[in-house]
């Protein structure tokens, strides 16, 4: 089977779906691998390293995709009119496409019409078997780390308490909103840098996780918050009354903070606004807010997705998108391993091709289209 790895063309996407490490292992599975020229440059991987790993370096997308039975991507392929190359039209019928496709019904129908069996890895269920192929977790972990590093770079003071002959500089007060994978990594990183860290999350299990990392818990708790988590471990959308009460507690706390890291996402929905205009206005000049949720609209009322802004009262708001892409070498390495694990889990060694049983929970979770039809429940019935 021929495996194609394309250069990512979507704006600000710096990652790549395979590394020389994973290319070697895919070739060992009995495949040939074609990597489009320049695919890994943004992640610090020159074409020569792919060639040394045994891959063919293709001059363009059309050459890489010619005869491919499996296509590895970070983000969805471009369609007609979306860029200089119609990647979707170049993917052979019958090929398996694997990536974080973020597909809606129209896109899924386009895959089906093209005869592409599309697998969207961000939809993998959060079960034990799927942990090592969980792209959301691997990328969120790095996003949480990077958020704190960028906050430290934008902050005009120091993270740790510094005692000098000229006087003492107090430790930075860091508040992390959302204690999922990204939030927990942000807490741990801020603590390692010497910050005084507190955090909040609506999920009941998060309180102990926050405390276990040495941070203090901040939040409003009631009967509703006890059921604020789905079976898959995601935060549920709660009532307007709960968010109003939570906002009161958070507002008083934010006014005292130097750095706020926002990581709160609700699966399949626009990110909730957790930091209002009034909260931002209450912060001290020189404070920094990092909004990891900017891709989904942002947790901060003043966030401009993709940009760094400075408010009238001197607060820096970092609303960059694609946070994992801001640490591309590490993000690509973990993402490529996630895809490799998925492939090896569902690989027919004798036929040397994927064998994905339709009744498997992981396969059901990620498969958008199969055999020319949209099969994912959330899209087929939309």
Buried b (16+ CB within 10 A) or exposed e, 276-292: beebbebbeeebbbbbb
Is residue 102 annotated as a catalytic residue, yes or no? no
Whether residue 235 is predicted with pLDDT greater than 90 in this model: the reply is no
pLDDT at 242: 75
Catalytic residue among 34, 42, 120, 137: 137
pLDDT in tens, 224-233: 555 555 555 5
pLDDT at 232: 54
pLDDT at 123: 95
pLDDT in tens, 135-181: 999 999 999 999 999 999 999 999 999 998 999 999 999 999 999 99
Region of poorest pLDDT, from 6-10, 168-172, 216-220, 301-305: 216-220
Is residue 131 annotated as a catalytic residue, yes or no? yes
pLDDT in tens, 179-213: 999 999 999 999 999 999 999 987 777 889 999 99
What mean pLDDT do residues 106-113 have? 96
- For every residue of 40-88, which 3-state class applies, written as one string? CHHHCCCHHHHHHCCCEEECCHHHHHCCCCEEEEEECCCCCCCCCCCHH
pLDDT at 202: 79
Coil, strand or helix at 329: helix
In whole numbers, what is the pLDDT of the chain averaged over residues? 93
Catalytic residue among 104, 129, 131, 361: 131
What mean pLDDT do residues 245-260 have? 92
pTM over 0.85: yes
Please state at what angle helix 328-345 crosses helix 20-28, rounded to 10 degrees: 10
User: How far, in Å, CA of 160 to CA of 163, rounded?
Assistant: 10
User: How far, in Å, CA of 100 to CA of 109, rounded?
Assistant: 16
Catalytic residue among 117, 134, 201, 291: 134
Is residue 304 annotated as a catalytic residue, yes or no? no
What mean pLDDT do residues 23-44 have? 98
pLDDT at 224: 57
Region of poorest pLDDT, from 85-94, 128-137, 176-185, 228-237: 228-237
Residues 6+ apart with CB under 8 A from 223: none
Handedness of CA 218, 223, 224, 225 (dihedral sign): positive
DSSP state of 295: G
Antiparallel, parallel or unpaired: β 316-318 and 308-310: antiparallel
Region of poorest pLDDT, from 6-10, 34-38, 198-202: 198-202
Confidence band of 234 (pLDDT split at 50, 70, 90) = low
Catalytic residue among 126, 132, 191, 378: 126
Q: Where do runs of H (alpha helix) occur along the chain?
A: 20-28, 47-52, 61-65, 87-90, 105-113, 135-154, 181-192, 206-212, 240-254, 277-282, 328-345, 361-366, 377-380
User: How far, in Å, CA of 66 to CA of 69, rounded?
Assistant: 9
Confidence band of 284 (pLDDT split at 50, 70, 90) = very high
Whether residue 80 is predicted with pLDDT greater than 60 in this model: the reply is yes
pLDDT in tens, 65-77: 999 999 999 999 9
Residue with tokens 């960059």: 320
User: How far, in Å, CA of 108 to CA of 85, rounded?
Assistant: 19
pLDDT at 236: 59
Handedness of CA 362, 366, 371, 377 (dihedral sign): positive
Residue with tokens 């708790």: 221
User: How far, in Å, CA of 131 to CA of 169, rounded?
Assistant: 42
Of the chain, the percentage scoring pLDDT greater than 70 comes to: 95
Residue 8 CA: distances (Å) to CA of 31, 36, 169, 338: 22, 10, 44, 17
Buried b (16+ CB within 10 A) or exposed e, 206-226: bbebbeebebebbbbbeeebe
Q: Which of 88, 81, 82, 80 is nearest to 6 (CA)?
A: 88
Is residue 234 annotated as a catalytic residue, yes or no? yes
CB count within 10 Å of CB 312 equals 9
Is residue 258 annotated as a catalytic residue, yes or no? no
Q: Contact at 8 Å (CB) between 174 and 259? A: yes
Q: Which residue has the higher pLDDT, 83 or 345?
A: 345
């Amino acid at each position: 089977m021929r495996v194609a790895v394309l250069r990512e063309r979507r704006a600000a996407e710096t990652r790549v779906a395979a590394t020389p490490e994973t290319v070697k292992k895919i070739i060992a599975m009995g495949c040939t691998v074609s990597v489009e020229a320049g695919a890994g440059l943004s992640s610090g991987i020159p074409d020569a390293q792919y060639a040394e790993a045994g891959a063919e370096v293709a001059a363009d997308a059309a050459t890489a995709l010619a005869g491919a039975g499996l296509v590895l991507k970070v983000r969805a392929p471009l369609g007609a009119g979306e860029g200089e190359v119609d990647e979707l039209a170049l993917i052979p019928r019958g090929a398996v496409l694997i990536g974080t496709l973020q597909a809606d019904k129209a896109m899924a129908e386009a895959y089906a019409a093209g005869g592409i069996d599309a697998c969207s890895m961000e939809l993998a269920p959060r079960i034990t078997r799927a942990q090592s192929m969980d792209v959301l977790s691997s990328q969120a972990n790095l996003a949480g780390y990077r958020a704190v590093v960028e906050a430290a770079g934008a902050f005009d003071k120091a993270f740790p308490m510094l005692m000098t002959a000229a006087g003492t500089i107090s430790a930075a007060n860091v508040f992390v909103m959302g204690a999922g994978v990204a939030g927990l990594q942000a807490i741990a990183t801020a603590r390692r840098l010497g910050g005084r860290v507190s955090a909040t999350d609506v999920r009941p299990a998060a309180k102990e996780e926050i405390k276990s990392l040495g941070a203090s818990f901040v939040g409003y708790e009631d009967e509703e918050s006890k059921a604020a988590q789905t079976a898959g471990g995601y935060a549920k959308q709660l009532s307007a009354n709960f968010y109003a009460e939570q906002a009161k507690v958070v507002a008083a706390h934010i006014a005292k903070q130097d750095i706020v890291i926002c990581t709160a996402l609700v699966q399949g929905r626009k990110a909730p606004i957790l930091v209002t205009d009034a909260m931002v206005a209450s912060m001290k000049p020189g404070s920094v807010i990092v909004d990891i949720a900017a891709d989904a609209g942002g947790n901060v009322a003043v966030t401009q997705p993709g940009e760094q802004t400075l408010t009238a009262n001197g607060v820096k708001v970092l609303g960059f998108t694609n946070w994992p892409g801001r640490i591309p070498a590490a993000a690509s390495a973990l993402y490529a391993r996630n895809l490799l694990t998925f492939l090896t889990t569902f690989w027919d060694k004798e036929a040397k091709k994927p064998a994905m049983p339709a009744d498997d929970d992981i396969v059901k979770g990620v498969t958008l289209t199969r055999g020319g039809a949209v099969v994912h429940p959330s899209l087929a019935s939309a």
